[in-house]
Chain A
Amino acid sequence: MAARVVRTLVIALAGAAVGLLWNALSGRGFALGQSVLVQAGDELVEAPAAKALLDRGALFLDARPRDFWKVSRIKGALSLPEDDFDRAFADLEPRLRRAGGVVVYCSGYGCEASHVVARRLRERGILAAILDEGIPAWQDAGYVLEPGSPR
């Protein structure tokens, strides 16, 4: 019985060890110590700091599909969906270039849309911070969403 338990643990530990080695040596690996969504150049901002930016007039962008923005959003946020970026950016570009600050958010956790949108804005010369963990972090910090228009 004890031998079986040892062999079971050997399988699990050997698999885990090979996985860690593969991640370190294969060239396909990634940094384990930070969110896999974060890349060099990404500027993350926590919910309280984002709220302070909002209060100072920063422009908030909702990177989720537009149907989600229509249901609810952070107060005053405009829709700049990842999946319709070029068209929406063309409409918003003058406002974005005038804005004193830009913060992008999406639905949080595994949501990558805010990171993608912030990078595309950066490519066009517009610096945008990313709300870390998105809407769940915003709500966990005690801030509310406003209902969208039924358009």
Chain B
Amino acid sequence: MTGLLANPRVQAALRLILGGFFVYASLDKIASPAAFAKIVYQWQVTGPVASNLVAVTLPWIELLAGLLLVAGAWRHEAAAVIGALLVVFLLAAASVMARGLDVENCGCVSLARTAAASAWPPAWMKGVGWFLVARNLVLLGAAAALTFVPPRCATATPPSAPGA
């Protein structure tokens, strides 16, 4: 498994998927920080002022780390930042679920408040629940691989000819 994760092509794919996801996820929040602050507050993990600070800083950390991952610069460190964010998101989601709170839109990607029942994505994909936990665990696995597994060197030494 570690050998597969060390494959440079696999690492490049993980970087592009994980980095691209976080860049995309940051855009709506950066465009509408007040709307994002309301959603952060709905999680009831932080008070109103702390929710405001999270809302104005978190999307830019996501954007910067995502861009670095896509570009392949400081990729171990960028993946570590994203991994740390995902751990925080998972703990917060566990807290929300344990308290039985109904957070209609987690604010993870889109900030749209309400949608028709038939709209995409469906409510179970937008709210805080098991889908969010599973998705973040998958993303956390990718971030851990990029943080801790060094890519295998792409250039292999050709076998030397006999007598050479």
Contacts and interface: CB of A to CB of B under 8 A. Distances in A.
Interface string A28-45: 111111111100000000
Nearest to A30: B34
Contacts of B18: none
User: Taking chain B's interface residues, is the majority helix, strand, or loop, or is none over half, making it mixed?
Assistant: helix
Given A7-B74, A11-B81, A23 B56 contact: yes
Contacts of B34: 30, 36
Interface of A: 4, 7-8, 10-12, 14-16, 18-20, 22-23, 28-37, 109-112
Contacts, number: 89
Contact of A15 (B43, B60, B76): B60
Given A8-B81, A11-B81, A112 B56 contact: no
A110 B41 contact: yes
B68 A11 contact: yes
A7 B33 contact: no
Given A15-B62, A15-B63, A32 B49 contact: yes
